[in-house]
Amino acid sequence: MARRTASLLPQWSSRIFSVELDGAPHYFAIKEKHRGEEVPRLFTLKARHYERCYSLLVCSSDRVRRAKFYGELKDKLLRHLSPESDLSPMSSFLPDVKDSLVRGYFFKGDSQSSSSTERLLQELIQRDPVLVCSYLRGEDGQLWTQRLWPPAESQMTEMSKDYYVVPSEAPKYHPSVLNIVNSDVFYSFEEAYEVLKKCGDIIPEAKSVLELLPSGAETRSKPDFPVIVIEGLDATGKTTLTESLRDTLKAVLLQSPPQCLSPWRARFDQEPPLIRRAFYALGNYITAEQIGQQGMKTPVIVDRFWHSTAAYAIATAVSGPLSNLPAEGSEVYRWPSDLLQPNLVVLLTLDPEERKRRLRNRGQGKTEEEQELDHNQLFRLRVEEAYRRISGPSCITVDASPSADQVLQQVLLLIRGKCHL
Ligand SMILES: Nc1ncnc2c1ncn2[C@@H]1O[C@H](COP(=O)(O)OP(=O)(O)OP(=O)(O)O)[C@@H](O)[C@H]1O
Ligand SMILES: Nc1ccn([C@H]2C[C@H](O)[C@@H](COP(=O)(O)O)O2)c(=O)n1
């Protein structure tokens, strides 16, 4: 058992832990306990009767299983724990080490129901890939010790000791940045394909999607005619503009995700980010195949493409202000080497109030991510900034607030300048 836990989460004592408490991230490290040592204080939990807290980190080496289980675990804990437990997301990572982020949850253990909580934890560690720790409050109500739970799990490992929980500086970038590559954003057909292939047993629809895929991202010869992608948040006027461009340029209009994936889109929108983003990533390769065929005959206009896939994924993986995004020039913003590159990518931007007005006028239902855009100003800013940072090709921003015809003329000017049409 001890060996199991040690291999689940290597370099235990070098890790930083992050937990959202009262709406703010708290970062802490652990320090071996030595007698009489002064240790900085971390945080106080409000209610006195919470003598103990728990963390659960999901440690499976199978990333599809880990992603599915992480979502299910939240539902399970919410069903079982009292609302006073303040269930919060938690993570642990090795500073600057890619792919080292492990996610989980943190909650306060109510002394009233401690035996039933411990029964649930016992059940979880026996069946599922979780690592459980308990945290005890120090005498001054502020200092906490961390220890592997239950104590019998910890014999003979570096986790066997008690550790002080000490405050740690916030990392330069949001810890989720460490795991974006090939978990939130995919940089090759193969990487996204692998995820959907592994899902075949648990999500039957994945098999239908796999059947629609081109046989790899073959290097086709570049289309003879220009390929122009129109990007932007919802209701910025993409549909209006792409339809006008199609008519004006006698072009073919395509979209990503492609029409043939429509029957499965809602299904994959319910899945955890790893699976959902792999679905959208593969959609781009189907659209690329269609572009390759149509682009030999006419200009092609595309409503959303890889910029959307990457920008929404990055902006969702990272929370908080723009400064939490990976820095400009980061590998996270690079274009997949095996994906067709358009000749021009236009990003439509709009004042948030005008966007809301257009959304209201349109009056359609919204996806969860669209609702988030409405309510969460920071999320909207992160999506737009991520769009701007993507390179190879980069997007050219066009203000979409003038009339539909003025926006069309502006974009036609850009196309004529860049694509010799
Ligand atoms: N330049 C414009 N000025 C005023 N209204 C516009 C303009 N362009 C589009 N609209 C209106 O704004 C609404 C949203 O436009 P549209 O559907 O083209 O956006 P979209 O970017 O395709 O949205 P989504 O991504 O959600 O499909 C529509 O009612 C459309 O008629
Ligand atoms: N190529 C694409 C297109 C869309 N998405 C995702 C990103 C958002 O969650 C949502 C927006 O699309 P809309 O509702 O406006 O059709 O779909 C993507 O990841 N990649």
Q: How far apart are CA 94 and CA 292, in angstroms?
A: 42
Q: Are residues 16 and 131 in the same domain?
A: yes
3-class secondary-structure state, position 234: coil
239 lines ligand 1 (CB under 6 A): yes
What Rg, from alpha-carbon coordinates, does the chain have? 24
- Sign of the C-alpha dihedral computed for residues 138, 142, 143 and 149 taken in this order: positive
pLDDT (0 to 100) of residue 160: 61
Q: Find the 305 Cα to ligand 2 centroid distance in Å.
A: 9
What pLDDT, on a 0 to 100 scale, did the predictor assign at position 406? 98
Find, among 209, 219, 372, the residue nearest to 288 by Cα: 219
Residue at a domain's end among 152, 178, 204: 178
Identify the nearest ligand to the CA of 230 by its number: 1
Regarding whether 248 and 173 lie in a shared domain, the answer is no
Cβ(312) – ligand 2 distance below 6 Å: yes
ipTM (interface pTM): 0.99
Q: What is the pTM of this model?
A: 0.92
How close is the Cα of 292 to the center of ligand 1, in Å? 28
- Residue 23 burial by CB count (10 A; 0-12/13-18/19+): exposed, middle or buried? exposed
Alpha-carbon span 391 to 307, nearest angstrom? 9
CB 230 within 8 A of CB 346: yes
How far apart CA 382 and CA 174 sit, in angstroms, is: 13
User: Number of folded domains in the chain?
Assistant: 2
212 in a structural domain: no
- Residue 280 CB less than 6 A away from ligand 2: yes
Residue 140, Cβ density class (10 Å: 0-12 exposed, 13-18 middle, ≥19 buried): exposed
- Residue 77: the pLDDT is 94
Cα dihedral value 27, 31, 37, 38, nearest 10: -10
Pair (225, 324) in one structural domain: yes
124 and 239 part of one domain: no
Q: What is the pLDDT of residue 143?
A: 58
Q: Would you state the pLDDT for residue 1?
A: 39
Ligand 1 atom 1 nearest Cα: 404
Question: Is residue 8 included in any domain, yes or no?
Answer: yes
Domain end: 162, 178, 194, which one? 178
Query: What pLDDT is recorded for position 360?
Result: 85
- Average pLDDT per 10 consecutive residues for the chain, totaling 421 residues: 56 89 83 68 51 88 93 93 88 94 90 79 89 79 73 58 82 92 97 96 95 76 94 96 98 98 97 97 97 97 98 95 94 97 98 90 70 78 97 98 98 93 75
- Round to whole Å and give the CA distance between 369 and 312: 9
Structural domain containing residue 359:
220-271+287-419
